[in-house]
Chains A and B, each alone.
Chain A
Amino acid sequence: MESTSRRGFLKLAGLGAAGAVLSSRPISASTKSLTLLHESSFIKTYDEHFQKVLAPAYEKETGVKVTYELTSVGSLQTRVTTVAETGSGADITSNAFSWPFLFDEKYLDVSDIAEEAGKRQGGWYEAAKEAVFVNGKWKAIPFGNIGQLMNWRTDWFKEVGVAKFPETWEELYEVGKKLKAKDHPFGFELGHGFGDNHGWLYPLLWSYGGAEVAPDGKTVAIDSDETARAVDFARKFFRDTMLEDVLGWTDPSNNKAWYAEQISCTNNAESILWLGKRDFPEIGQVTDQALNPAGPKGRFHLLAPVSHSIFNFTQDPEAARAFLRWLTDEKQLSGWYAVADTYYQPFLHGYDNAPMWQVEPRNIPYRDAMATAHLPGWPAPASRHMAESVAKYVVVDMFAKACSGASTKDVIKNAEGQLKEIYRSA
């Protein structure tokens, strides 16, 4: 058990100090160890690949042991908060969303590693920089996107005469009405989850031209005709195509509904298809994935990036840098991406035509979505305020309340008030 970890920690600190004192070169001759924090992956083999392939390979090459610390889904932010606040516990961590902005002061500048990788591996997607580029510096190395796209039942769509996924929200709405009449309603999350609600609501807002805050990052811009149109659409979309229960759904709800064959279309990451193929093959066969529909002002997707950062209080910054550089090398990345069945869509263009995309062609839309993906709060730059808006469910509740019956004017006024307060010090 872990009751000796305090002794272990002191030992590590002692070794680190001794190592730093004794060495005149960046990497000392004595065995070092680094700790990498990660959230337990949806795809188990992804974690196993690191533990069984990557870590031993690095140790063999450099003598540095990398410990892969896994936290449970949903608790990584808490763990990173604790580590950042107390200045100890890990050397390198993965980030979700815009955490590089939240923890900016505790992260090292890794621009050199990022720029080198971009040059050598085809260049970075624009979206990749959104979450990691803080005040002109790369504070994290982007790893991959966990895309949120449309999942749809090809068999039921065919029943109402639709062979290809609709291009626009309005077209999708018409299909939804028909399907609901046939007892195959849609199910888009409108509750307090983390992914499946944001995955369609922010793109919906953007595709009608709405935005929370202007690109200057200060002016609250949610009160606009564009937003009102998006809200009105959402209201009729909910009323005429969906189950009432979606108002209280959290992230697992749509997966459950999918396998229970309750719904014909939803917004989700690759998990529905992945698990469907494994445990519910018949349902898996008629499940397909498509880009979000377009609105009058374009087609958009949610950016849910995973990236890696180095804590600035790490014992040996050079060792940590060397490891991150090694990890970002094509040799390591390509293997790690492939093992995860494209659940993490690579941010480097060099992987756009990698063989892994041919393993399951239905996943290709996830790759294409990255060109139009943005963080919540876009077009304002990422910031703490954006994180507060997401944590307080400002946009989600605005749409949800409208679907529950509140007037468009009221819900927008409400959201505006909240955002003005949140961006008070912007």
Chain B
Amino acid sequence: MSIRSEPLIGVGRPARPVASLRAWLDSESVFSWLMMAPPILFLAGFVGYPLCYGIFLSLQDRPVAQPGVFAGLKNFAIDFNDPVFWRVVANTFVYTGVATMLKMVCGLGLALAMNQQFRMKNFVRAVLLLPFIVPTVLSTVAWMWILDPAFSVLNWFLIALGMPKPGPSWLGNPVLAMASIIFINTWRGLPFYGITLLAGLQTVPPELYEAATIDGASGWQRFRYVTLPLLQPIILIVTLFSVIFTFADFQLVYVLTHGGPQNATQLFATYAFDIGMGAGQLGLGASVALTMLPALALLIVALTIYTRRQ
């Protein structure tokens, strides 16, 4: 903690009104609250208010262009009786879970590979970030083409190797469709994981590795007992953000499959959009979106526990 020098300031000065106003403004709490006021007000207006309004909407029977009628928890009851809703829940968790794990593992692999000296390292690092940089909708349009059995290079090769034409239907088969969106999401998010983990790897002091080697540790043991524990905080943080993004993903599915085939790739965000904007049921749409919060709220708890432990 710093030396508390602040009380000394007021002591040596004459008690003029200006000085005491200045001192008041300089007190920790006044300064802090004044400084934080603009962003807090901004967030209150643009997030807080819409959030409350969204909660309010979800408790209403509110068709578009009509006044709302209070309906209590009726929208949520409708959702819970909707088989598609539960499919959406399952899809979103599977999508988020698998993609995150893949990104973590491959990101780590990428970081380890990049954590070596070679020429053009900076260039390679920038180039590897491209999937993360390109606007998602645009790369998704490219993937539409790449995954079309008639045009897909992968199918081309598989057919050449003997598979019957036209080869797997990447977006038509429900299981493959989910696999496809998981794959594209991984492709997109992997560079972020990789580069961030690389940053973490670079802060591991070499002496620790040397000490471990001297103690007779193998490469794998060095990784397991030196690298991983030190990387743990950063893995956790990156994972947290990645999970939040992936859970609320909209663009990828909206452009690629629009939730099909048969809702195999329907996620919370796309379903809420379809109900709110397509069916004009604003209250029901809000209720679907709101259901995302409990799952994410668990993450708040995890984050709080984690940061408290630090």
Contact = CB atoms under 8 A, between A and B. Distances in A.
Q: Within the complex, are A and B direct neighbours (CB within 8 Å)?
A: yes
A249 B177 CA distance: 11
Given A248-B172, A384-B279, A404-B174, A191 B257 contact: yes
Given A81-B277, A102-B280, A418-B84, A248 B260 contact: yes
A244 interface: yes
B274 A257 contact: no
Contacts of B262: 247, 397, 400-401, 404
Given A243-B166, A247-B169, A262-B150, A404 B260 contact: no
Interface in A364-406: 384, 387-388, 390-393, 397, 400-401, 404
Nearest to B281: A388
A417 B83 contact: yes
A102 B64 contact: yes
A85 B65 contact: yes
Contacts of A390: 278-279
Contacts of B173: 244, 247-248
B194 interface: no
A250 B260 contact: yes
Given A250-B258, A421-B78, A421-B81, A387 B280 contact: yes
A384 B78 CA distance: 16
Contact of B274 (A104, A105, A392): A392
A193 B84 CA distance: 17
B38 to A, nearest CB: 21
A16 B84 CA distance: 47
A249 B274 CA distance: 18
Majority DSSP secondary structure for residues of B touching A: loop
A192 B64 contact: no
Nearest to A78: B277
Contacts of B259: 192, 393
A341 B280 CA distance: 32
A404 B261 contact: yes
A304 B215 CA distance: 76
Contact of B172 (A106, A249, A256, A421): A249
A103 B64 contact: yes
A12 B171 CA distance: 49
Majority DSSP secondary structure for residues of A touching B: helix
Given A190-B261, A392-B279, A404-B262, A84 B172 contact: no
Contact of A391 (B83, B166, B263, B275): B275
B249 interface: no
Interface residues of B, number: 36
Contact of A247 (B148, B172, B274, B279): B172
B261 A247 contact: yes
B63 A384 contact: yes
Contacts of B275: 388, 391-392
A102 B150 contact: no
Interface string B68-83: 0000000000100111
Contacts of A421: 78, 81-82
B66 interface: yes
Interface residues of A, number: 44
B142 to A, nearest CB: 14
B107 interface: no
A250 B64 CA distance: 26
Given A104-B65, A397-B262, A391 B278 contact: yes
Given A245-B171, A392-B84, A102 B258 contact: no
Contacts of A248: 169-173, 177, 257, 260-261
Nearest to B259: A192
Given A244-B172, A250-B257, A384 B280 contact: yes
B149 interface: yes
A71 interface: no
A191 B261 contact: yes
Contact of B66 (A105, A190, A246): A105
A154 interface: no
A334 interface: no
Contact of B277 (A77, A106, A256): A77
Nearest to A257: B150
Given A190-B261, A388-B281, A400-B262, A102 B174 contact: no
A391 B257 contact: no
Contact of B83 (A192, A247, A418): A418
A317 B223 CA distance: 74
Interface in B172-216: 172-174, 177
Contact of B263 (A84, A393, A417): A393
Contacts of A247: 169, 172-174, 260-262
Interface string A404-426: 10000000001001100100110
A106 B274 CA distance: 21
Closest 10 CB pairs of A and B: A248-B171, A391-B278, A192-B260, A248-B172, A391-B279, A247-B172, A191-B260, A388-B279, A192-B258, A84-B65
9 contacts: A191-B257, A246-B172, A384-B63, A384-B281, A387-B279, A388-B275, A390-B278, A404-B262, A424-B78
Given A249-B171, A404-B174, 11 more contacts: A81-B277, A105-B65, A106-B65, A191-B260, A192-B257, A192-B260, A192-B261, A246-B172, A248-B260, A392-B274, A421-B81
Interface of A: 77-78, 81, 84-85, 102-106, 190-193, 243-250, 253, 256-257, 260, 262, 384, 387-388, 390-393, 397, 400-401, 404, 414, 417-418, 421, 424-425
